[in-house]
């Protein structure tokens, strides 16, 4: 049983909630790139990954690599807790990682921490943990946080065997929760190879009812620009009233 939350756009600021079909699909990569693109357009960007697991002990605090990447992309001033208030060492679901450290997470506290990162005129980019049904607290999932924030959702999918099933499951969960999915980004975590990689994007187009915003080719050596992401009007997707 989860704390199922409906969308609440009251007082909503422009923004996006970036989720994935799984862990390791490139959510941070996409979120950081979008942050840099918006800043290049003169937008003020707020970033939040409110809970992170698998953090390292650095300078007297638990610090996740994802937090560092997002803070650098948005040029966040101040301590990393402004991006990630809760960081835990164990690389497991946030609810489990918090419990192992004797910390109790609540959906309300997490949502409030995220909202503090946004303000009028700011593009607020929120990165979730794992996928939509990843346990976030003892009673709430990442989908509940997306619903509580009322932001349109971007789904990042790994291009590999299983992409179709994982993506369609994620979109089904979003639809059942009343979440607005603004679009899908397919990311090649590894170089495309095999019949599944060659066919799954075309097959996805036959099955999905949301925009396929970009297919990001495998990035060798950390390319400075990603043209397919630069071609997307991210600010339009961020702005209320939200629509898919």
pLDDT digits (tens, 9 = 90+) for 94-128: 999 999 999 999 999 999 999 998 876 789 999 99
Among residues 7, 33, 49, 115, which one is catalytic?
49
Average pLDDT for 17-45: 95
pLDDT at 120: 66
49 is catalytic: yes
Q: DSSP class of residue 60?
A: T
* Residue 2 scores a pLDDT above 80: no
Q: What is the pTM of this model?
A: 0.91
Instruction: Indicate the class that CATH gives domain 15-238.
Output: alpha beta
Would you kindly state where each structural domain of the chain is located, as residue ranges? 15-238
pLDDT at 157: 95
Query: pLDDT-based confidence at 224, cuts 50/70/90?
Result: low
Q: Which element (helix H / strand E) includes 15?
A: strand 15-20
Q: Which element (helix H / strand E) includes 156?
A: strand 153-158
Compute the distance between CA of residue 228 and CA of residue 9 in angstroms, rounded to an integer.
29
Residues sharing a CB contact under 8 Å with residue 136, sequence separation 6 or more, in sequence order: 51, 93, 94, 95, 105, 107, 110, 129, 142, 144, 145
């Amino acid at each position: 049983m989860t704390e199922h939350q409906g969308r609440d756009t009251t007082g909503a600021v422009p923004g996006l909630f970036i989720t994935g079909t799984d862990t390791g699909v490139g959510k941070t990569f996409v979120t950081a790139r979008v942050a840099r693109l918006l800043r290049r357009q003169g937008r003020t960007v707020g970033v939040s990954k409110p809970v992170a697991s698998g953090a390292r002990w650095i300078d007297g605090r638990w610090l996740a690599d994802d937090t560092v990447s997002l803070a650098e992309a948005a040029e966040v001033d101040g301590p990393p807790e402004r991006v990630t208030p809760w960081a835990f060492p164990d690389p497991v679901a946030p609810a489990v990682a918090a419990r192992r450290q004797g910390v109790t997470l609540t959906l309300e506290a997490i949502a409030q921490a995220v909202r503090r990162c946004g303000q009028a005129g700011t593009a607020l980019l929120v990165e979730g943990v794992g996928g939509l049904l990843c346990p976030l607290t003892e009673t709430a999932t990442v989908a509940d946080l997306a619903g509580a924030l009322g932001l349109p959702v971007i789904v990042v999918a790994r291009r590999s065997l299983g992409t179709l099933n994982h993506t369609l499951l994620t979109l089904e969960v979003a639809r059942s929760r009343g979440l607005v999915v603004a679009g899908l980004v397919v990311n090649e975590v590894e170089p495309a190879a095999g019949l599944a990689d060659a066919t799954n994007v075309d097959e996805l187009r036959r099955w999905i009812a949301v925009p396929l915003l970009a297919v990001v080719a495998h990035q060798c050596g950390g390319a400075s620009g990603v043209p397919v992401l630069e071609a997307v009007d991210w600010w339009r997707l961020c702005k209320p009233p939200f629509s898919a």
